[in-house]
Structure 1
Amino acid sequence: MRIARFTAAAVLPAALALAACGGPESDGSGPSDASPGGAFPVTVADARGDVTLDAEPERIVSLSPTATEMLFAVGAGDQVVAADEYSDFPEEAPTTDLSGFTPNVEAVTEEDPDLVVLARDAEDSADQLEKVGIDVLVLEAATGFQDTYDQLRLLGEATGHAEEGDAEAERVQGEIEGIVADTREAVGDTGLSVYHEVDDAMYSATSDTFIGQVYSELGLDNIADRADGAAEAGGYPQLSPEFVVEENPDLVFLAYPGEDAAADLEDRPAFDTVTAVDNGDIVQLDEDVSSRWGPRVVDLVQSVSDAVITAQED
């Protein structure tokens, strides 16, 4: 039996942290009323509303792994002086023991930042940081590709790299659209169904999530969309083994680490009757790539595309 393992390099800090990616479609966060050419002051719109930065930031603290990747991608890496404990990409990211989930404001201020980038889950720290004169940007968890493009542009504008941010957004969008087009041309309307497993407790992800959009764009039918209580679960319902077996998915994606994760799934009662298991179309994604929505989302889309084409050939 063939077990497919695509390592697209990018991480889900914890299974439940991925649930924060659920929610309504993009809130429109992105560049807003920005001065041309990277001139300051500049105004951008983060998850809370308009934020005006009077000068180009020289010392940035990033408390979000996705934001860290984006900052380096838009050319602001040299301005990042500290990043949270999970910011492990790119290799030169200045990872520290700072927490992005429960930021210690005193520890953050010790880095003497003039800009701090936070995830929406850590928004409560923003007011405290702003009270001591530190600019803060709060980024919403993405629920679609457009959020990736908007946030790349936002961070480019906010750091004095507007052109680089725009170019990176266009690159990512162009590569994703190319992969989607090539996949659909190669396999047509496959009708293949997919089961995405967030963790071994069988939490899944519907089409209303970021990863769910990846599957939808590539023409896959997401079984989690039909689960009882899916809407109430914020896009991350917990499925039962009986439901998965009955839905009989053609593809299974595992978004968590573990050398035996695929084998453990195969050993579940009645899972040997599932088409994906029978054909060996179990794909273990890198947990980072499958949870972050930065520039490496291109790798994620390519990994799913490869799996779709392989499954169609079975």
Structure 2
Amino acid sequence: MPALVLAAALALAGCATHSEPPATASGPSFPVTVTPSGGKPVSIAAQPQHIVSLSPASTEDLFAIGAGPQVTAVDKLSDYPSSAPRSDIDAFKPNVEAIAAKKPDLVIVYDDTNNVVAGLTQLKIPVLLLKAASSLDDAYGQISLLGKATGHQSEADRLVGDMKAQITDVVAKTPRKSLSYFHELSADGYTVTSKTFVGQVYGLFGLHNIADAAGGAGDYPQLSAEKVIAANPNLIFLADTVCCQQNASAVAARPGWGSLHAVQAGNVVALDDSIASRWGPRVVDFARAVAAAVQKAG
């Protein structure tokens, strides 16, 4: 599987309708204009009440800041929270007509596949292109932007503050150890470098990524089994447990992998695929999983 396709897949039930939240005298002020990182300003005339999200990470953000009741449809990969109104919309092959049929007053996408941004803009539907976060600050910025775009700025600011405080606390309480790691996206060797959002989370704990020295194309290189074995990482994190049923036993059974430090010491860590690939509020859970593995490792 090509690395870019794999990375996008890891970044990403009928349609339910939610009632509109009651207006209040101190409600949000519209119109507003928001500008995604690296993008163009987007004007939103009134507080959106029919949001369509084609980004699993943004879906999590929306519900975490209290905009869930305004979300009327999400793509089929937006599986968290369970109350999100999943539809048959495919974020990898977005169809402008199918999206427009949901009668949205705001659409959020993570990629401009099939020229979906231009198509929706032509229909005068505001669309926010929020690409995969490249850092924690980028993730925080997207939450703040969604807060402004949906009328939940104070809730978004509160969430960002809580996330920062929790991650800072987790990192501070985790002992610094000189440990190397391999983050597995798929059993055929696709991984991440320290330049990615995921890699930067590991970097908070001072861990050394074997992919940085092993070489490969781009930020999502494919490492051969021989390179992983030669690097002999102290920790192996599996982000393919749900999609591909990988676990510690499966790793130990691979030719040559049984002798690795991580396998011998019981430091093969099973992660939830979606938590380990999305840049939403559950990155705090990802940080805690890394911290627990570091504390356990010798």
Same fold (TM over 0.5): yes
Query: SS state of the match for residue 35, structure 2?
Result: strand
Q: Distance in 2 between matches of 1:19 and 1:256?
A: 9
2:263 aligned residue (272, 277, 280): 277
Q: Distance in 2 between matches of 1:58 and 1:259?
A: 38
2:116 aligned residue (120, 125, 134): 125
**2:23 matched to 1:39?**
no
What is the aligned partner in structure 1 of residue 159 from structure 2?
168
Q: Deviations over 1:65-89 (max 9, x none)?
A: 1111101111111100111101111
Change (3 A) 1:20 1:290: closer
C-alpha displacement of 1:260: 4.8
1:295 aligned residue (273, 276, 281): 281
Q: Distance in 1 between matches of 2:202 and 2:82?
A: 29
What is the aligned partner in structure 1 of residue 292 from structure 2?
306
Q: Deviations over 1:181-233 (max 9, x none)?
A: 111xxx23x1011011110111111100111011110111111000123xxx2
Name the stretch that deviates more: 272-281 or 262-271: 262-271
Gaps of 5+ in 1: 1-13, 22-35
Count matched residues: 278
Identity value in percent: 46
**2:222 matched to 1:238?**
yes
Q: Is the 8 A contact 1:37 1:162 kept in 2?
A: no
**Structure 2 counterparts to residues 157-196 of structure 1, below 5 A:** 157-183=148-174, 187-188=175-176, 190-196=177-183
Q: Distance in 2 between matches of 1:51 and 1:18?
A: 26
Gaps of 5+ in 2: 13-25
Q: Which amino acid in the other structure matches residue 116 of structure 1?
A: V
Q: TM-score, normalised by structure 2?
A: 0.89
Q: Is the 8 A contact 1:148 1:169 kept in 2?
A: no
Change (3 A) 1:18 1:109: closer
Q: Distance in 2 between matches of 1:121 and 1:253?
A: 30
- Structure with larger RCO (C-alpha < 8 A, sep 6+): 1
| RMSD, matched Cα | 1.9
Q: TM-score, normalised by structure 1?
A: 0.84
Q: Deviations over 1:84-129 (max 9, x none)?
A: 1011111111011111111111111111111000112537201111
Q: Is the 8 A contact 1:105 1:125 kept in 2?
A: yes
C-alpha displacement of 1:62: 0.6
Query: SS state of the match for residue 38, structure 1?
Result: coil
**2:214 matched to 1:227?**
yes
Q: Is the 8 A contact 2:238 2:246 kept in 1?
A: no
